[in-house]
Structure 1
């Protein structure tokens, strides 16, 4: 549903230049960061050993590596050439791995699910802009978005149904924390002109933090 919402935002609005979209992006970054720090991070340290910090840093480095391919779609940027006809397989693999990992710490009662949904909407909007404006056929566009939308639920399904994965859930979640920390903090700073906050952005960031704490 988040990917579908992002697609329609890309059709009816201009995500790259809209101030409202930038505020949504900032809100998603603040919400995701807050839920990660307030909920996921303490939970991981309660269930794992002292080496868990190494896996958090591994997740951060993994996300930096993925962004060499994705060019920053995960935090609301798109720097690809738009005149391609070939299916962007490397972009798909990079985003799919990112989304698959997002699904591991999620369940229906987890507040992190809300954070991932809010984060996914602007990401899907930016991605849809690139795909729609490229020379890809509509079939390839919908195939890309459809498979991309399935990755996070697939990650959650794998965790809940593949027994061997459960043995490593704290370490996988630690990697996801590293991914979230990098993505959310990058959103907060890169969505600001000259890396400065205005009143509107500060307001939505505070709102994101408060909602993550009280919901």
Structure 2
């Protein structure tokens, strides 16, 4: 639990601080990392999380419904985040009042998403063996670093003070570790049954499917053939498969 929390916190802080140091962060420089992360996350979800979800729980219909719910809940979150959680960096300048509201709604939605990500890493014995937990953690980290980078790029347009930007970055960075802690204590305290935790994992798996597939769509908005994207995608998927087999 402690190791996962530290890694999740540092990955978000690293991505955000890198964005602060680089004055002009080009979206093209992040795309390769995003495609690799999206492919890795999608592959881990398909080859590991989903099979074990359907194997663990007898009512497979309920599992499928929660996966769908997580998928469309992520769509709702993106109304407030504008896709920052998967590295989208298109920003617009607004009035001060609208800018403040946009910043608050952005941070709230991203923290909800990050909190849910943390809960899925809290109980390796429920849905994934401890030996393969590292591959799932890797997928979340690879997704979180560019997300934090994009977040700070967007916040720079909403808030002028670096101090405010850093406070919001730390808030975002703490969301996933808090999810790990909360998920770890939900079942022992009797607040969440083991079946409930499985359903929560199904919900988060739906989040992952939405994020990873959206990365692929946005990386080629005009649907042109891109051999570099294909190679990076195959590398990400291959690493996910290898990590499942030999981690």
TM (normalized to structure 1)? 0.91
- The corresponding residue for 1:93 is 108
Q: In the TM superposition, what is the alpha-carbon distance from 1:116 to its structure 2 partner?
A: 0.3
Q: In the TM superposition, what is the alpha-carbon distance from 1:193 to its structure 2 partner?
A: 4.3
Q: In the TM superposition, what is the alpha-carbon distance from 1:198 to its structure 2 partner?
A: 1.3
Partner Cα separation in structure 2 for residue 47 and residue 15 of structure 1: 43
Q: In the TM superposition, what is the alpha-carbon distance from 1:47 to its structure 2 partner?
A: 1.8
After TM superposition, the structure 1 = structure 2 runs for residues 24-103 of structure 1, keeping only pairs within 5 Å, are 24-48=33-57, 49-50=59-60, 51-82=62-93, 84=96, 86=100, 88-103=103-118
Q: In the TM superposition, what is the alpha-carbon distance from 1:40 to its structure 2 partner?
A: 1.0
| 1:212 paired to 2:232 | no
| 1:188 paired to 2:216 | yes
- The corresponding residue for 1:165 is 192
Partner Cα separation in structure 2 for residue 133 and residue 73 of structure 1: 13
Q: In the TM superposition, what is the alpha-carbon distance from 1:81 to its structure 2 partner?
A: 3.0
Q: What's the CA shift string for 1:92-150, capped at 9, x where partnerless?
A: 11001111111122158412110000001111111111123433422221111101011
- Structure with greater helix share of residues: 2
Q: In the TM superposition, what is the alpha-carbon distance from 1:2 to its structure 2 partner?
A: 1.3
SS at match of 2:100: coil
Q: In the TM superposition, what is the alpha-carbon distance from 1:75 to its structure 2 partner?
A: 1.8
Q: In the TM superposition, what is the alpha-carbon distance from 1:178 to its structure 2 partner?
A: 0.7
| 1:112 paired to 2:136 | yes
Larger radius of gyration: 2
Q: In the TM superposition, what is the alpha-carbon distance from 1:208 to its structure 2 partner?
A: 0.3
Partner Cα separation in structure 2 for residue 33 and residue 14 of structure 1: 29
Instruction: Pick closer, same or farther for the CA change 1:36–1:15 going to 2, 3 Å.
Output: farther
TM (normalized to structure 2)? 0.80
Q: What's the CA shift string for 1:141-174, capped at 9, x where partnerless?
A: 1111101011111111111112223431110011
Unaligned runs of 5+ in 1: none
Conservation of the 8 A alpha-carbon contact between 1:82 and 1:130:
no
State the Cα RMSD in Å: 1.9
Unaligned runs of 5+ in 2: 1-9, 125-129
- Number of residue equivalences: 214
Partner Cα separation in structure 2 for residue 39 and residue 8 of structure 1: 32
Conservation of the 8 A alpha-carbon contact between 2:27 and 2:89:
no
Q: Among residues 119, 140, 147, which one is paired with 2:164 in the alignment?
A: 140
Instruction: Pick closer, same or farther for the CA change 1:157–1:188 going to 2, 3 Å.
Output: same
Instruction: Pick closer, same or farther for the CA change 1:201–1:180 going to 2, 3 Å.
Output: same
